[in-house]
Amino acid sequence: MASTDHFSAQNLFGAKDFVAVVTGGGTGIGLMATQALAANGAKVYITGRRLEALENAAEKHQPTSGSGQIIPVGPCDVTKKEDIERLVVDLSKREKYINLLVCNAGIPGPKAEPKYSEADDLKAQLWNTEDQKDWQDNFNTNVTSVYFTTVAFLPLLQSGMEPKGPLEPFSSSVITISSMSGIMRHAQGHFSYNTAKGATVHLTKLMSAEFQKAGIRVNSIAPGYFPSEMTAKSSDERQKSHVPPEKIQEKEHVPLMRAGREVEMGMTVLYLAKNQYVNGEIIAVDGGVLNVLAGR
């Protein structure tokens, strides 16, 4: 039975001796996840297409105390199997196991706002604004790469169950970063992105059921509006982005009337990383948006 001391935040969410890999870890939600893990003792390898951004993020955001580390590796384009395999081979030379994979890399995709009620006008707007290749690129990055990245890391994840003694299933896990957009029915002009994120949600459920046979949990975080290069269109010299409250308030469907705070994302990452009794869940961290827009 657990004593009261077992319920300390350090025992509940400490990540000492954890080894994690975060794709797209140099900016936005990937960097938030990285900071949360490293601040609580994890060794976090961050990867992405821009090595300079990864190195800058690691330099600017190293923990000031504790055993946590942020280590850039790559570059790696997760839409290319050869890049993913090269990354796995590299990390296999450095580590005997990983405890956590965060599949965060993603792109926004094309936008075409359906503004017309007349079918001819609606067709012209959507048909002429979007391209099939953009849809395919979007799906490839937001869905296909999540699948192949997870599959590539399965052996290292399974090895993460063994280092501390007897085999304990479900101690290693994957967190996919989907989106509230993959749950809601409001397209927001992002038919391609929302469809892809909906597929990420379902892929997470499929992988959670199939990969639990290997003792590996898979869950997803479905973020609402968080400061990132995707939402803010830019980042500063510390790889950080800012979304002013008034920009969120203009949307008129965010009850908290602000973007999510970085630490709120960090709390969710630690929860899913540490709670072995959670598997196959999609956790919306959206400020209540899905209570306003049709979705669940």
CA 292 to chain centre: 24
Cα separation, 284 vs 156, in Å, equals 28
Cα separations in angstroms, 72 against 55, 61, 116, 293: 6, 12, 47, 38
Choose among 65, 66, 18, 64: nearest CA to 45: 18
DSSP conformation letters of 104-161: -------------SSHHHHHHHHHHH--HHHHHHHHIIIIIHHHHHHHHHHHHHHHTT
Reply yes or no on whether 171 is catalytic: no
Residue among 145, 179, 192, 193 flagged as catalytic: 193
User: What are the E-state strand segments in 1-113?
Assistant: 19-23, 43-47, 69-72, 100-103
Residue among 197, 225, 240, 241 flagged as catalytic: 197
Reply yes or no on whether 178 is catalytic: yes
Reply yes or no on whether 197 is catalytic: yes
Residue among 145, 172, 178, 181 flagged as catalytic: 178
Cα separation, 140 vs 192, in Å, equals 11
Give, for 230, the enclosing helix (H) or strand (E): helix 229-232
Reading the block at residue 84, the tokens are 């993913």
Q: Which phi and psi (to 5°) does residue 141 adopt?
A: -80, -45
∠ CA 146-243-135 to the nearest 5 degrees? 35
∠ CA 273-17-150 to the nearest 5 degrees? 45
Task: Name the residues annotated as catalytic.
Answer: 178, 193, 197
